[in-house]
Amino acid sequence: MTKLSVNINKVATLRNARGENTPDILKVAEDCQRFGADGITVHPRPDERHIRQKDVFDLQSKITTEFNIEGYPSPEFISLVKKIKPNQVTFVPDAPNVLTSNAGWDTVTHELFLSEIVAEMQAAGIRTSLFMETDLEKIKAASKIGTDRIELFTGPYAKSYAEDKVTAIAPFIEAAMLARNLGLGLNAGHDLNLENLNYLIVNIPWIKEVSIGHALISDALYMGLEKTIKAYKNCLTIL
């Protein structure tokens, strides 16, 4: 069954709006796991507008499931990850000023750069994942780089889902099949929600993990965190 990793960045954004400790992201992380989440994801950015470096260290002892740290592989980020030693690091090609991850790696252009940092993380015992679009040549290049997994950027799928879900998912199925044939583990994330998640999993049941933050935390405002996590877990069940 596909695992659910809850991205708690938005909880930190809310906390930072008042400069205090409400909501308490450590308690939220513990509660997410208690309510059935299979992991916690954070994406610390240089400006610390949501998750701060201190949060990452504080969370280290609270996570009993899987810890996934996302980010651009700057020297500072690499240093942080090597100190924390999470279960997984997901490298994203974000510029410092972007609001959210909005593109995948060009693994052809950056093959040498990515090969070196992937090898460095694997030598430290950390599973690696590269944030990718559905470009088949770039997925082939990701395999050459030696990454353990790729995370498919599902933003385009989510954007087109309501209009034509069959067409929306077609390139993702093709990319996922290629990744599987190349021996790459497969994750997925970005704009997944209670409406579009199950269709993705039914069509690509070998996805190992989905990372969901914005929609899940938004739904929790209405449904409560426990019911929301259970609803997302239900979407990962193939009947």
Domain count, the chain: 1
pLDDT number for residue 96: 62
Q: Which residues are catalytic?
A: 43, 70, 190
Mean pLDDT within 141-156: 98
Greater pLDDT, 98 or 66:
66
Average pLDDT over residues 142-169: 98
As a whole number of angstroms, the distance between CA 183 and CA 118 comes to: 16
| Helix pair 111-123, 136-145: axis angle to 10 deg | 40
Confidence class for position 100, pLDDT limits 50, 70, 90: low
Q: What is the pLDDT of residue 99?
A: 54
Q: Whose structure tokens read 């269709």? A: 199
The CATH number of residue 184's host domain is: 3.20.20.70
What is the per-residue pLDDT for 238? 84
The answer to whether residue 20 scores a pLDDT higher than 60 is yes
**Which residues face 39 on adjacent strands?**
5
**Mean pLDDT throughout 53-62?**
97
d(CA 156, CA 133): 9
Measured CA to CA, the distance from residue 72 to residue 113 in angstroms comes to: 12
Domain that holds residue 184: 3-235
User: Exposed/middle/buried for 105, CB within 10 Å: 0-12, 13-18, 19+?
Assistant: buried
Q: Is the pLDDT of residue 230 over 60?
A: yes
Contact of 70 with 41, CB cutoff 8 Å: yes
pLDDT (average), residues 189-199: 98
What is the helix, strand, coil percentage profile of the chain, to 5?
45, 15, 40
Per-residue pLDDT, averaged over 13-42, amounts to: 97
pLDDT at 95 over 80: no
| Alpha helices per DSSP H over the chain | 9-16, 25-34, 53-60, 75-84, 111-123, 136-145, 155-161, 165-181, 197-203, 214-223, 225-235
What mean pLDDT comes out for the span 109-115?
A: 96
Residue 104: predicted pLDDT = 92
